[in-house]
Amino acid sequence: STMPPLLAAIANAGRRGVLAKSAVVMERLGRIDTVALDKTGTLTEGTPYVTDLCPLPGSGLDETALLALAASAEHPSEHPLARAVVAAARERGLPLSDVEGFTSTPGQGVTATVDGHAVIVGAPARLLDDAAHGPHREVAAGLEEAGRTAVVVLRDGVPVGVLGVADRLRPDAAATVAALTRLTGRTPILLTGDNERAAKRLAAEVGITEVRAGLLPQDKVAAVKEWEARERRVLVVGDGVNDAPALAAAHCGIAMGKAGSDLALETADAVVVRDELAAIPSVVQLSRTARRLVI
């Protein structure tokens, strides 16, 4: 006997580099009409690197001390930005301090006690009072204007420096956006926790027009629910802990396997096992064909 079409579709999807967790997933994937893509780690390679080290005047820190402080606090985090900061410190052979009381807030940043100081590292828009003016604002805005992610470092509540981080676009990002647009008749939407300036810049490069930036994990869920309330069936593609709630809320969720967080991989309906974004439209097409054979 031949394999039932949806099971055959799972096997075919696997050959194309997408592991679907059940036959039902292939069925659901065949119905999606809207795609929401995460930025960091999804449209980008997810291996960002530190480009700028900007200690603030009056902090008493030089570039090296700023980097060592940030890397010590980021060390326990699995966030791609944290890995970039730690990698930059390692490259320079900087010793990292042990930390206490590490906490991580998805879409926001980390806190830890480093050498007796309360250190916070993360998104400027989230960590700093909007009313707070100062050199850190200008430095962060300048970096964001250049398409970078600005990471602010606070020591005992005072901004002491800003790091600039950049990430490479995946080589197949634009082609994937084009293929998903053809398949669904709608241009995918970018959902990101990152800043609007960097997000819009990257969106323009891949052919995305609708951008929702500065989102917390629950804001990504709210966006999905908003579309689903309008009878849309949304495919969410993401990689981070911050994407997990949206992956769960969507009609279908796909996680990027290589650099993806454990939580995203566990929550998603399917996982891109080879690091190719272009496998996604290919598998959407496949699942549609399989559905037609079943019905």
Is 187 or 261 the residue whose CB approaches ligand ADP more closely? 261
Tokens of 112: 């830890």
Among 27, 52, 74, 239, binds Mg ion (CB under 5 A): 239
Tokens of 87: 């990698």
Is 187 or 192 the residue whose CB approaches ligand ADP more closely? 192
Establish if 246 lies at the interface with ligand ADP (CB under 6 A): no
Give yes or no for a contact between 49 and 33, defined as CB atoms under 8 angstroms apart. no
Give yes or no for a contact between 46 and 259, defined as CB atoms under 8 angstroms apart. yes
Establish if 64 lies at the interface with ligand ADP (CB under 6 A): no
113 burial via Cβ count (<10 Å: 0-12, 13-18, 19+):
middle
Establish if 107 lies at the interface with ligand ADP (CB under 6 A): yes
Nearest-approach distance from CB 156 to ligand ADP, in angstroms: 18
- Which residue among 38, 167, 219, 269 is the active-site one? 38
If DSSP codes are grouped into helix, strand and coil, which group holds residue 154? strand
**Of residues 119, 122, 276, 270, the one with CA closest to residue 193:** 122
Among 17, 55, 122, 164, binds ligand ADP (CB under 6 A): 122
Establish if 44 lies at the interface with Mg ion (CB under 5 A): no
User: Between 195 and 234, how does the x/- string for binding to ligand ADP read (CB under 6 A)?
Assistant: ----------------------------------------
Q: Which of residues 102-161 bind Mg ion (CB under 5 A)?
A: none
Give yes or no for a contact between 119 and 155, defined as CB atoms under 8 angstroms apart. yes
CA–CA dist 235, 281 (Å, integer): 11
Nearest-approach distance from CB 260 to Mg ion, in angstroms: 9
**How far is Cα of residue 143 from the mean position of the Cα atoms in its chain?**
19
Instruction: Give, for 264, the enclosing helix (H) or strand (E).
Output: helix 262-267
CA–CA dist 186, 168 (Å, integer): 25
Nearest-approach distance from CB 130 to Mg ion, in angstroms: 24
Q: Which segment (30-38, 102-110, 162-170, 256-264) binds Mg ion by CB under 5 A? A: 30-38
DSSP 169: B
Among 40, 149, 184, 267, binds Mg ion (CB under 5 A): 40
Among 54, 119, 151, 203, binds ligand ADP (CB under 6 A): 151
CA–CA dist 67, 3 (Å, integer): 56
Which residues contact Mg ion by CB under 5 A?
A: 38, 40-41, 239-240
Which residues contact ligand ADP by CB under 6 A?
A: 38-41, 74, 77, 79, 81-82, 107-110, 121-123, 149, 151, 192-194, 240, 242
> Known catalytic residues?
38
